[in-house]
Amino acid sequence: MDADRYARVRELFLAVEELPPSEQLDYLKSQAGDDQELIDEVRSLLSEHDAELARMEGESAKSLLPPANDPAVAANGFVLSDEVAALSDGSEATSATVNSGTKQGDSATFRSHPDSKHAAARRRANEDSKSSAAKPASGAQITQHGSQRTHASPRDFDAPSTAKKSKEKEFWQHRARRHRRFNSGWLWFAALLPTALVGWWTYHQVNESLQNAIGNELNGVANSVSISVDQFLSDKAKLTESWARQPVIRQSVMELLEIAKQPDANAKLKTAEQNDLILHQLQELSGRENVKFVVWAPAGKILASWLPDRADVGGSIAPSGAANLNRAMRGETVLFGPEILRDESNGFVPETSVPVMAEIVPVRDDDNEVVAVMLVRGFGMFADFDRLFRQAAEAGGLDVYAVSRDGTMITNSPQASVLAAQGVLAAKESEIAAQLRVSDPGVELTRGSSKGNRMAQALTYAAAGASSGQENLQLSPYRNYAGIPVVGAWRWQPRWQIGMVIERSAKSAFSTARIVRFGFLMLGALLSVTAFIAATQIAKRTALAQAATHPLNRYELLSELGSGGMGVVYKARHKQLGRDAALKVLRSDRQNRDDRLRFDREAKLAASLSNPHTVTIYDYGRSDEDEAFCVMEFLTGITLYDVVSRSGHQYFGRVLFILRQICDSLGEAHALELVHRDIKPQNVMLSFDPSVGDWAVVFDFGLAKPLTPDAGSYQTAETIWAGTPMYMAPERYREPNKIDPRSDIYSVGCIAYYLLSGRPPFIECDPESLFALVLTEQPISIATHRDESVPDDINEMVAKCMAKSVDDRFSSIDELAARLDELRQQYSWTVHEAAGWWRIHGSEV
């Protein structure tokens, strides 16, 4: 190795040695490029480097050196090595053979372990090369063995034995002190640990209790507001419906319809006295002088209105109101708003800039046929609606507001009004209701900060959940419309298309937990020994408390998996068996007799099934407090919905393989005269079995019903549809109470369509439109979605399952299973193919 190469190694070693171990290799590669030999040389030195030992040995070597100009050196006949010269005068050695020096006192000297094969080889080469130029003047030279020498120690200097022993003693004393400090630290930690454990346990319990309390509070307020909103809007709808049935109004509308048929009808309508009769009657009924109304004919023509000049009479309804007109003409009472009114081309000019709420009601003739539609507003509906949310917010110190389907805040949130007044929100206080989009700005906003474009920002967690029709509780902090971390709950009223959001700032919600944590940190610092004794006593009391005979005490709750209409499902582990399970507990708000009997029925029906492709029931019972619970098999894997979400449409053979297993599960259920009624991709769990491949398990028998109900068992009476609409058979819409196993076959066909095409058979936002599609239309061909041809026999199988008439479907699930067995002979799906899919797409299971 030449001097330049040695200098390069030294330079890299000194630079890399100061870096954290995780960054050393990347830095070496960035500096050495393709010179792998250079990288290996430096890494070898690093692997055998002991910084503490090198420092101490370097200090030992320096203490033994005479001054650089000491004449005793020459008198004794010794020649200093380059390393010693460098250490003695603070300069770097520049020998053509060796360049291993460094600055005086620098503990980062080339500190390779003495056993390094690279260091030993270099020493031998250097000593050989210097043998003619750097020999000692006498035979008194003593060469250290490789195991006793480093680059920082002299090679040719004979150190006195007493000095060597002194430094050796100092070295071991130093290590002894280090071990003593280490042991002392462990002893201190052992004293502090009980306090820390008690602190952690207490903090955890307080935090959990806080979460339960906050969750109960948010859910309670959300449920209360939801009920109040539904009751309020229902009352207003009934009130306006009664006005529409009032004889004077009905007769006036009938007369206006007759006038509309006459020549020059528009002029006559504008001067018709029926306008005033309707207005006066509404003023009398509502008790408000400012009540406003509009009457439309079936075709959308304006027959009458509250405007003094009646400029809009004779015009047509705005295009945006056509849908509401059609709904009202079908006999519905439609809620309008809250919404900011805009100028329309039919002559209407808004008289107010505040949000407006109105009811659109049908007007019927003597034969109870809808002949016209009337809109009524101006009777304080929005003010009362907004006050309902404001009172809920003020009572609990919460932020309570309503959102529309598009995520717009449609009430005046007190918190938003305060932030707007402070200049945090890019809106005035009067621009909140029906105008502020509830989006997540990404960061917490402050006065004068960049607000961003709310239309381009994603909705907040709560607004997105509520506007998509979900009901949930979120105790993990998320950002609200001002970027402030909050926790919240939300509800959705499908009838009125209004969502309700209840939020509390995370800071105030969990302030108690932070105080408890800080208090225990102080306690641990000041009273370690006392905390140790207290922890022992608390542990004893805790053990006694947990020895209670509560039946659920056998299970350790790990996490909440979800909440449904009847119960809350947790992931749990049996404390003695160590087996994971799904623990379903009847919700606290569903503890009435009917709900308990329904819960019993679901558990008993599911427990009667034993097919390996059906979820297994382990246990069922009630606690001493009469809490109903059910312990089920904990399914691992992903649902068929997730399978398609991850990889799109599936191979023909795989679809047939999965459907066959679903048929096994339903075959047993049907044999026991039990119909599932809610077969859908989200209710089939798929996992990987090394011996079989894909393994499907059907779960959620919450809507299952027997074909021949036992007169002695509890039965539910259904007046509404039960199930998921896009996967329900047509006859389920027509006769919800009729139970037929072939309805499950239709749903299996829908799953087959979904897996083969990557899309549900029917997709519609409007439930009525979806019902119409299921009842009358055929889904788009699978080949169109796949953009490739689909074998006729598979198309025929799916079409037969999804036939509109039950008589055109497979007569039984066993017949479908037999057909699947025939098709599987043509379209295989092997364990190897399944393993390949799971390796790519199932890594997150």
Q: Which residues are annotated binding-site positions?
A: 584
Phi/psi at 186 (nearest 5 deg)?
A: -65, -40
| Dist. CA 163–CA 170, nearest whole Å | 11
| Dist. CA 603–CA 607, nearest whole Å | 6
Phi/psi at 781 (nearest 5 deg)?
A: -60, 145
| Dist. CA 579–CA 558, nearest whole Å | 12
Burial of 418: CB neighbours in 10 Å, binned 0-12, 13-18, 19+: middle
**DSSP output for 509-541:** HTHHHHHHHHHHHHHHHH-HHHHHHHHHHHHHH
Name, in order, each residue with C-beta under 8 angstroms of 552's C-beta and a sequence gap of 6 or more.
Answer: 583, 585, 623, 627, 629
Angle between the N-to-C axes of helices 274-286 and 161-244, in degrees from 0 to 180, rounded to the nearest 10:
120
Contact 419, 481 (CB under 8 A): no
Contact 209, 201 (CB under 8 A): no
- Contacts of 468-477 with C-beta under 8 Å, sequence gap 24+, read 468/492, 469/494, 471/222, 472/563, 473/215, 473/218, 473/219, 473/222, 473/563, 475/211, 475/214, 475/215, 477/506
DSSP 139: T
The conformational region for residue 368 under phi > 0 = left, psi -120 to 50 = alpha, else beta, is left
Q: Interior CA angle at 595 toward 673 and 631, to 5°?
A: 70
Amino acid at 701: F
| Dist. CA 413–CA 739, nearest whole Å | 47
| Dist. CA 605–CA 609, nearest whole Å | 7
Q: Give the tokens for residue 219.
A: 């859910």
3-state SS track over 34-72: CCHHHHHHHHHHHHCCCHHHHHHHHHHHHHHCCCCCCHH
Q: Which residues are registered as beta bridge partners of 559?
A: 571
**DSSP output for 760-812:** -S---SSHHHHHHHHHH-PPPPHHHHHTS---HHHHHHHHHHT-SSGGGS-SS
Amino acid at 576: Q
Residue owning tokens 């089920």: 632
Q: Which residues are annotated as a binding site for ATP?
A: 584
The conformational region for residue 200 under phi > 0 = left, psi -120 to 50 = alpha, else beta, is alpha
How many beta carbons lie within 10 A of that of residue 443, not counting itself? Answer: 12
Name, in order, each residue with C-beta under 8 angstroms of 842's C-beta and a sequence gap of 6 or more.
Answer: 637, 638, 688
**DSSP output for 250-268:** HHHHHHHHHHTTSTTHHHH
Distances (CA, A) of 603 to 363, 560, 596, 632, 807: 49, 19, 11, 9, 32
Name, in order, each residue with C-beta under 8 angstroms of 178's C-beta and a sequence gap of 6 or more.
Answer: none
* 356-364, strands of its sheet edge to edge: 302-305, 292-296, 370-377, 356-364, 334-339
| Dist. CA 723–CA 731, nearest whole Å | 13
DSSP 723: S
Q: Which residues are registered as beta bridge partners of 698?
A: 614, 684
Amino acid at 29: K
